[in-house]
Amino acid sequence: MTASERERMRDMIRRAVGRARLPDAEATHPGRFQPPDRLHPGDLIERFRVELTALGGAVHEAVGDATIASIIQTLIPAGPETRALCWDDGALPVPGLSDVLSASGIGVLHQSADTARSSEHRRLMASAVVGVTGADAGLAETGSVVISSGPGRGRLASLLPPIHVALLRRSDVVWSLAELIGSRPALVTAGANFVCITGPSRTADIEHTLSRGVHGPKEVHVILV
């Protein structure tokens, strides 16, 4: 697919999202999304917490930026070489987090096009025990974390390590995906991909036995900042 073809596809998606229907949908479609009665921010966060906890995830409260690194440290198993695969500092809602983690003895790694070419760096990324990312939004209705990847926001941080820690601004918790797209349609095409992470990875493909961590992180933690 050429660059011009990708841009035409993205333009079509932007226009379709703005209309809240597919380009060739019948005129009898249900119409635009009607958001529910606005909830108090505290109620949204509490619903988000309840839903994510029910899925096996966890929500942590950060009292100031200084406590975020200490929360992450408590989630990491002790080991001789502890590594964290992190988004670039500029993509995180907490400035200087990489330096704080490094000072505490955690090896901080970043994903980029250049480092991906190095087999040694790929080996190091695969050894990371925790991935630290930001989050574009939290969905209270389902307990989901919404993430769009791009430069400085590598996908592997939320997929490869067994523990995923997402830093989420309280102000970015909304009720549903429909409300998010209706209010921020550009988010859909802002990055290389757009995903909703709803709890730890789980599958029951083998003998209908539920297993966690097969296709992604075994633990999902959200730190509210």
Convert the pLDDT of each residue in 183-213 to its tens digit: 888 888 887 888 999 988 776 666 666 666 5
Structure-block tokens of residue 153 = 């926001």
Q: Give a yes or no: residue 31 inside a domain.
A: no
DSSP letters along 26-80, please?
-TTS--S--PPSPPPHHHHHHHHHHHHHHTT-EEEE-SSTHHHHHHHHHHSPP-S
Q: Give a yes or no: residue 9 inside a domain.
A: no
Q: Which domain holds residue 86?
A: 39-224
The closest of 134, 131, 192 to 163, measured between CA atoms, is: 131
What is the overall mean pLDDT for the chain?
84
Q: Global pTM?
A: 0.79
User: What is the amino acid identity at position 150?
Assistant: G
Give the list of residues 6+ apart from residue 208 with CB closer than 8 angstroms, or none: none
What is the rounded end-to-end Cα distance, in angstroms, of the chain?
39
Number of domains in the chain: 1
Structure-token match 């660059």, residue found: 3
Q: Give a yes or no: residue 150 inside a domain.
A: yes
- The CATH number linked to 112 is 3.40.50.10420
Structure-block tokens of residue 92 = 């995180």
Convert the pLDDT of each residue in 146-161 to its tens digit: 999 988 999 999 999 9
Q: Give a yes or no: residue 191 inside a domain.
A: yes
Convert the pLDDT of each residue in 88-115 to its tens digit: 999 999 888 888 888 888 889 888 877 7
Residue 20 has pLDDT above 60, yes or no: no
**Can you give the pLDDT at residue 91?**
92
Using CA atoms, how far apart are residues 50 and 222, in angstroms rounded to an integer? 12
Q: Give a yes or no: residue 122 inside a domain.
A: yes
Q: Give a yes or no: residue 53 inside a domain.
A: yes
Q: Give a yes or no: residue 83 inside a domain.
A: yes
Q: Give a yes or no: residue 19 inside a domain.
A: no
